[in-house]
Amino acid sequence: MSWLFTGMLVLSFLFGILNGRMEQVSISAVNDCSNAVTLVIQLTGVMCLWSGLMRIAEASDLTGKLSRLFRPVMTLLFRHLPVDSKAAKAIVMNLTANLLGLGNAATPLGISAMKELEKISPRKGIASNEMAMLVVLNTASLQLIPTTTAALRLSNGSTAPMEILPAVWLASSVSILAGILTAKFLSSRFR
């Protein structure tokens, strides 16, 4: 991430000069850092809502039930993670929220899963295979019905906004599969 961060900043400086857009770059530096704060403030509400609901689901063992339901998938993706661990339950909640298209809920649930994974990770400061797998799954789209996309298609006059569904399913499942396989394959190459 350090390289990415530096790279983007250096590139924007260079292209700012080349394109004569230094003024815009400078304005954006000042504005966007405050935009980030606004975004987090907006996120805080959802974050608290879902962290609260997650705690209820945990206490009622709803997460445990869900986790046992997803056991086959979980053992395949997170081999060394006990199905009844707190981390596994949080991961299952996160994946379910993703499937249902509750993107706002998926983020706080995913974050609590990351924290649980960090607690049981043997090497501090270094991502475990499980953490990497969870993030890769979340960077791919698991959403069954892409509602925002369909809504935008509809508002732009599409005659069949949902006709893209099979294509979306095909593209996203192949993409997720590629992500999982790459993560499995690369995990032994990155120490």
Partner 1 sequence: MNQISHYILPAVIVLIVGYGIFKKVPVFDCFLEGAKEGLTSSVQILPALIALITAVGMFKASGALDVITYSLRPVANLLHLPQEVIPLAILRPISGSGALVIFQDILQQYGPDSFVGRVASVMQGSTETTFYTIAVYYGATRVQKTRHTLPSALTADIVGFFMSALAVRLLLF
Per CB under 8 A, which of residues 66..105 are in contact with partner 1? 100-102, 105
Q: What six digits make up the tokens of 8?
A: 């983007």
Q: Within 132-171, which residues bind partner 1 (CB under 8 A)?
A: 132, 134-136, 138-141, 143, 145-154, 156-164, 166-168, 170-171
Report the C-alpha gap between 188 and 182 in whole angstroms.
11
**Interface pick for partner 1 out of 36, 73, 82, 84 (rule CB under 8 A):** 36
**Interface pick for partner 1 out of 35, 73, 82, 84 (rule CB under 8 A):** 35
Q: Which stretch binds partner 1 (CB under 8 A): 67-75, 76-84, 128-136?
A: 128-136
Q: Is 16 in the site for partner 1 (CB under 8 A)?
A: yes
Total site size for partner 1, rule CB under 8 A: 107
Report the C-alpha gap between 87 and 107 in whole angstroms.
15
Q: Which stretch binds partner 1 (CB under 8 A): 50-58, 70-78, 80-88?
A: 50-58
In the chain the first and final C-alpha atoms are separated, in Å, by 16
Please check whether residue 101 is in contact with residue 144, taking contact to mean a CB–CB distance below 8 angstroms.
yes
* C-alpha distance from residue 87 to each of 37, 38, 81, 130, 150 (Å): 28, 30, 8, 10, 33
**Interface pick for partner 1 out of 53, 64, 85, 120 (rule CB under 8 A):** 53
